Structure 1
Amino acid sequence: MPPDIPPQLPADSPAAVSHAFGTVAAASVIAECLRVQTDVAPRSAVARFIGRSPLSIDSRPWYLGALGELNVAARLESLGDGWTVLHSVPIGTRGADIDHVIVGAPGVFTINAKFHEGARVWVGSRRLLVNGQKTDHLRNTRYEVTRTQKLLSAAVGTEVPVRGAIVIVSAKQITIREQPDDVAVLEAQRLVRWLNNQKAVLNPTQVATIATAVREAATWSNEPTALPDTSGFAALRREVESAGRTRMVWGVAVLIAILGVSIPLVLDFYGRAVGG
């Protein structure tokens, strides 16, 4: 059985910033979100009053990406003993990373988390559409699987079984026309059950050996790996969520105002019609 990994900490915890390789979820996308956000001017008092989002058009995609990875990471915490879970695993030399890498008796899984709030997702054997638009999700996941299998097999000296999964977070509807043969596409709510239902293909010794290799940064890249600074994201998230609540309050207030004007008019019209 592989040794336990440290529990996940809040993204802006000082301890999390100094923690070991692969233990901070969404580390790279959070760091990029914060980097882009540094160029955004602080909101004015009026902007805060009306609930304008603090995010810019450039930082918003990184922010949403982080939400997807954090959502999946939280779900993976419920996996039992016998599983090893790493997050935001740097791979190669160009700043790429894998959202989540999981090792257990059923083998190795690379998880590509995708946050598509309110979207309609359509899945076929060769295409994955979001609101009717083609995506690179399948291609990118297949590439991650190929790279992971090559690196881990070289690290342990034997062929390592690796599968990829695309996990969709917060979509309005997911239509599976045909599951791809080599990549699983799942709603986030189904991920843990799906993993636990996979058949074992590795014995305990193999699992422990692969888990050890997965935790070694040198397995993934020859370059030194520094954990990105994620401090500040929790504060940004609170600010974004507060702005959302403010906009909701304004929306309700406007609706009440409209109804407050329209209902008496309707009643008056109805009374005149009946009386007439």
Structure 2
Amino acid sequence: MPQPIDDPNDRRMLLRYTGRCRLCGATLTAGTDAVYERNRRTVRCVECAPVVTPSADMSPVVNPAGAPSEDADVLRLRSPASSVIAEALRVQSSVPPRTGTQRFFGRSPLNVESRPWYLGALGELEVGRLLDQLGPEWFAFHAVPVGSAGSDVDHIVIGPGGVFTINSKFHEGGNVWVASRRLLVNGQRTDHLRNAEFEARRVAKLLTQAARRPVDVTPVIAIVAARRLTIRERPERVVVLAASQLPRWLQNRVAVLRVDEVAEVSRMAATPATWGQPNIPVADLAAFAELRSTVTAARNRRRSWALALMLSPLAMLATLTVGMLSLLR
């Protein structure tokens, strides 16, 4: 029998990741309409939980003028990496399909144009997953479009410890070196620090205008999948840390906002009008999950071929050794 949602922390949303219904065991792919049980960190399909009791996370959102917003849940329920995924799939759509031979040998379906977008999406998805570990007193908004030029903020996090912009940087296997005014990846200079600082100032300005009071914003760069992260000297205005450290770092911040202040700033952040006239692209999460599966399968096939080539000389040597021993008997 379908069960109502009686936990105020449960909320109906489009799933960001593939999951399984806790009650009936049905597989729920990314993008499926379902109920997220926040305290349990599990999901239920809508057939098992068709009745939704409004929760604090689903409270009406008002715009700066005080009128109810028609897009109250657009940003609250937005999946991490939505903008990057949409662009990755758009660029990937022009990539010619692989030939049978290319698939056999594990050639990646990505090309030089789509690969950076794909990797950027992986970084944002991982940070979004980590931010889901924060308690119910924290609010995280993902892929927040700002203005009409197509730019967005990877993550905006609001909680007792303050307001933060989180910039996800995926540097798989790379060496990241940080000083007070420089961030190098494999010895190459980047604009990560400057861009993160600019992003935080922009978000602070817009939230200040919407809330009609000063809102301080701290820029954070979350490094994903790097082989080594060396902090030679901490930057003065930007926090740089490994993504895995992010949830605990946020939860350990000294409280600077009251509960009502967190709620107020979160309402402003959830209102699209706060960010100008943004274009909010809808990401096809199922299509990206399929692309990700294809990329992973191709990588595994390449690794299998590399292992086979590495072992083949050993196999030949073993065969020769057995043959020589048989001749000596």
Which of 24, 31, 34 is residue 13 of structure 1 equivalent to?
31
Query: CA 1:223/1:87 → structure 2, altered by over 3 Å: closer, same or farther?
Result: closer
Distance 1:7 1:168, change over 3 A: farther
1:217–1:225 contact (8 Å) kept in structure 2? no
Structure 2 counterparts to residues 1-276 of structure 1, below 5 A: 9-10=15-16, 12-13=30-31, 15=33, 20-22=74-76, 23-223=78-278, 225-262=280-317
Deviation at 1:227, TM superposition (A): 3.2
Residue 267 of structure 1: how far off its partner (Å) = 9.4
Aligned-residue Cα RMSD (Å) equals 2.3
TM-score, L = length of structure 2: 0.76
Mapped to 1, the partners of 2:254 and 2:230 lie a distance apart of 25
Structure number with the higher helix fraction is: 1
User: Could you tell me which amino acid in structure 1 is paired with residue 75 of structure 2?
Assistant: F
CA distance in 1, matches of 2:279, 2:94: 28
Q: CA deviation at 1:233?
A: 0.4
Specify the code of the residue in structure 1 equivalent to 2:125: L
For residues 209 and 97 of structure 1, the distance between their equivalents in structure 2, rounded to whole angstroms, comes to: 22
Shift of 1:262: 3.9
Shift, 1:82, TM fit: 0.6
TM-superposition CA deviations, 1:33-56 (whole Å, max 9, x none): 000001111111111110000001
Q: What is the CA–CA distance in structure 2 between the aligned matches of 1:228 and 1:251, rounded to whole Å?
A: 35
Q: CA 1:6–1:87 in 2, change beyond 3 Å: closer, same or farther? A: farther
Aligned CA distance change for structure 1 residues 45 and 261 (closer, same or farther; 3 Å)? same
SS at match of 1:21: coil
Could you tell me which runs of 5 or more consecutive residues in structure 1 were left unpaired when the two chains were aligned.
Answer: 270-276
What does residue 273 of structure 1 align with? none
Distance 1:266-1:195 versus aligned 2 partners, 3 A rule: farther
1:217, 1:5 → 2: CA distance? 20
Q: What is the rounded CA distance, in whole Å, between the counterparts of 2:141 and 2:103 in structure 1? A: 37
For residues 55-91 of structure 1, the C-alpha deviation after alignment (integer angstroms, 9 at most, x for no partner) is 0110000000000000000111110011000100001
How far did 1:193 drift? 0.6
Is the partner of 2:112 in helix, strand or coil?
A: coil
2: CA distance, partners of 1:76 / 1:84: 9
Cα deviation, residue 254, structure 1: 1.1
Which range moved further: 218-227 or 141-150?
Answer: 218-227
Higher relative contact order (CA 8 A, sep 6+): 1
Aligned equivalents of 1:34 and 1:74: distance in 2? 21
Give 1:265 deviation, angstroms: 6.2
Letter in 1 for 2:184: L
Question: Normalising by structure 1, what TM-score?
Answer: 0.90
Residue 268 of structure 1, CA deviation: 9.5
Gaps of 5+ in 2: 1-8, 18-29, 35-70, 325-329
Indicate conservation of the 8 Å contact 1:166/1:186, yes or no: yes
Give identity over the alignment, percent.
47
Greater mean alpha carbon deviation, residues 225-234 or residues 236-245: 225-234
- Opposite residue 270 of structure 2, the aligned amino acid is R
Question: Residue type matched to 1:244 in 2?
Answer: R
In structure 2, the CA distance between the partners of 1:90 and 1:191, relative to structure 1 (3 Å rule), is same
User: Number of paired residues?
Assistant: 267
Distance 2:117 2:142 in 1: 16
Query: 1:205: how far off?
Result: 1.2
